[in-house]
Structure 1
Amino acid sequence: MQHAITIVNKMATSMNLVRFDCTGVFRACFSCILLAAAYVGSLYLWRSGLPRDHPVTIKQRIVSVLAVSMMCPFALFFIAEDATESQGYSMWQYLGLRREAIIPAAVLPLLVTMILFLGPLYMTYLDYWNESDTVCQGKKFRVTPSTVHILWLRNYIVAPFTEEFVFRACMLPLLTPCLGTTSSIFICPLFFGVAHIHHVSEKLRFRKRGDESIWLPAIFQFFYTSIFGAYSAFLFIRTGHLIGPFLSHAFCNIMGFPELEMIPQYPPNQRAIIWTLLVLGLVMCVALLAPVTNPDYYESLFYVDQQLVKV
């Protein structure tokens, strides 16, 4: 009880500094597994029997993931060590919730992410002006007006923020001291990718007779969420801010996975432009990503000699 009170007192003041030392790779990874299990498990605390896009289910799960996100920093305090001013930071700095260089940390990663989506953005532009009902039908979701706002809140605010907070901000301070920055960028997303496999259980519950196409999309989702997770972890470590990964995640949720299968439905000249922009966006994103996220621009505390020390 006394230890819990001490943790609350630490959380209440930003003057208390902590640091994360490597206590073993297994312990760091196991702690991340527990955080991921808490996040995913909270989604199934409610036994409503309704599908995930039902308004009641959405509201219940929003409450759950917000509660888990609020508890995760307390869990980190059990692992963190007290530190002096020359050795550590406040917990909020480790979590990427800080003011230093916040404007470039918000704008530049988002711009690079938008460049990656030059092709899909052009497709969206064409669909808007052509008012086409045949193109991008896959992105349409039939909902009543009463559910639009709650879907928007989940998909573009709550889900990207809580996922970035738990799977990046709370996990990377645990992994980086043991694994270094490079390995952490590639290992941290695995917890994020595996966490999305839970969608299979719901699809099995609500699948229609004869629908066997469940596992292949789930495997595909694991791979592309893991790739995005590595991208987001890179942004978080390089900038030391949560806002860049959050905005990039929200933007990617808005755009969805590029619907390459829809490209043949466009006229030949538009198809050529789309493919050109797809390639150009990828090349430009890769070329700009490292210089735009130079840690020196953001006073990042993660990216010096692969240690959690001040820049």
Structure 2
Amino acid sequence: MRTVRDLIRANYQSLTRSERKFAQALLDNYPSAGLASITAAAGNADVSVPTVARMVNKLGFKGYPQFHQALLQELEAKASGPTQRRANWASEAPETHHLNRFAETVTQNIGQTFANIDTEQFDAAARLLSDTDAHLYVVGGRITQALAGYAFTHFQAVRERVTHMTPSSATWPHYVLDMEEGDILMMFDIRRYETNLIRLAEIAADHGVHVVLITDQWVSPAAEHAEHTFTCWVEIPSAWDSNVATMMLLEALIAAVQEECWPRIRDRYERLEQLFNATHLFHKSG
């Protein structure tokens, strides 16, 4: 299901100047700005009530109440735990085999994720992540720490100066202490968003660190402090969210950074292989 934020982005070019003013006010304080009455929402954005009504219609809603309800459902989806997610899917599950439903949903998630990536922003993030003059820090949350570990392993091979921050937020001040202006923090945060990660993004940004956030379609509040934010569709017929689309985006970023720095990286790979051979890390048949 597309979020109101997605609908605004998709229809932005068709909005009038006053409608864009309300749209921007909503995006700046999302979704709270749209949870008030239509009169209050219009007044807060300094536009007329008819302006809000027209914009809502352009987004595909029959009226402001339906628009308001969509935002409330997004809030509920953000906060939902595994039990509620399972109940939501169970009530809507089509009568097909679970494997088919799962594969179809994951495929849709991947398509939706990549369809909503701004290519210019993707290229800018790849250039940023390839800058070895800056130190790259990688961190994830309770579930997404696995993604952070995967990112660290690959970026450590691709470039110099990479640090995997531990999952314990009690240790994070020590990392921030060494962060310098121009460094990079790659962060993974999906619902239910972790307070410590949001605070870390804020502190890092205040120190002049470039924050690259990979989050879900509802968007972590850490995005307020991020220079680049990528949204991945994660909902599946399960009590848990899926990281398949998130992993594909991450691998696309890793590949883009690799290409950005070739042939310097090729030399690094060759030296790494020599070290692997010297330590007999991998089994060789014959």
TM-score by length of 2: 0.29
Whose helix fraction is larger, Structure 1's or Structure 2's?
1
Higher relative contact order (CA 8 A, sep 6+): 1
TM-score by length of 1: 0.27
